[in-house]
Amino acid sequence: MRICDPYEKAAGVSALRDCVRKGGAYWYPERRFVLTGAAHGTDEARGQGDANAFEAGIPGRPAAPVLVSPRELKQRAVTTTEGRAALLHALTHIEFNAINLALDALWRFDGLPVAYYDDWLQVAAEEAYHFSLLAAHLKTLGDDYAYGCFPAHDGLWDMARRTSGDWLARLALVPRTLEARGLDASPPIRAKLASAGDKDGAAILDIILRDEIGHVAIGNRWYRWGCERLGVEPVATYARLAAQYGAPRLRGPFNLAARRAAGFDDDELAALQAGE
């Protein structure tokens, strides 16, 4: 989680996933990890979410890209090489953030079933694969283009910060909201790349959409498990958590087929569309 180099982190996540699969590493869900709080000079137990950990080098991130407000990001035409590079860079940054989000879901929350940790390690490894595909493709556009060459924003990680102390909110508002938004955004982005003649980029988007459906499905499954354990109704609870933590209001068009494949039921899709 603390590794800053994105390529080293991606490789490390994949190696850890393979190690767990082969029985070389095991989960201890009852054991609470302890973070040495370099920023505060104390040992900060993560427990069910320790917001201070975000100020103590979690997650590890490279010096570049520079993180700015979304309003400061320059819009570029995808028909130009620079514009296509900027779009691919934004996607690469999303996937790097997604690695950190999956890892954070692993280490921050204790005492859950082993299957939960297996699921999110698999998600982290697939996000690492997506990052590697996009980062390599970005470099094919020219020597000036590599991950970190454009500024980026921190919207995904901001929601992780807000929900650091609430496991159910994390599931509701990261995989089921922000990452599910990627299911809606993927087809039009793919179409942009294809229209610009970038067949390889479009093919990478196909891989990402396929895998992201599975990631959102994992979020849905564990969210419903949590709701059942707490004895709360999923749709009403989602609305409460979205309001409590300031989740963005989602607007269509929605990729309803992908959302159904990811496990959203008719009631959830109706609530989503009613909230436009």
Residues in CB range of 40: below 8 A, 6 or more apart: 52, 55, 56
Task: Let me know if residue 172 belongs to a domain.
Answer: yes
The pLDDT assigned to 35 comes to 54
Please give the sequence-ordered ranges of beta strands (E in DSSP) within 112-267, or none if there are none. Answer: none
> Number of folded domains in the chain?
1
Band the pLDDT of 154: cuts 50, 70, 90.
Answer: confident
Contact 202, 169 (CB under 8 A): no
Band the pLDDT of 44: cuts 50, 70, 90.
Answer: very low
| DSSP alpha helix (H) spans, 1-154 | 6-21, 81-107, 114-139
**pLDDT tens track for 101-112:** 999 999 899 999
Band the pLDDT of 22: cuts 50, 70, 90.
Answer: very high
Task: Let me know if residue 1 belongs to a domain.
Answer: no
Structural domain range at position 267: 6-274
Q: How many beta carbons lie within 10 A of that of residue 271, not counting itself?
A: 15
SS (H, E, C) 40-72: CCEEEECCECCHHHHHCCCCCCCCCCCECCHHH
Task: Let me know if residue 165 belongs to a domain.
Answer: yes
The pLDDT assigned to 59 comes to 84
Please state whether the peptide bond connecting residue 70 to the residue before it is cis, i.e. omega within 30 degrees of 0: no
**For the whole model, what pTM was predicted?**
0.91
**pLDDT tens track for 222-262:** 999 999 999 999 999 999 999 999 999 899 999 999 999 99
Task: Let me know if residue 91 belongs to a domain.
Answer: yes
Task: Let me know if residue 141 belongs to a domain.
Answer: yes
Task: Let me know if residue 192 belongs to a domain.
Answer: yes
- What CATH number does residue 145 fall under? 1.20.1260
pLDDT at 188 over 80: yes
pLDDT at 33 over 80: no
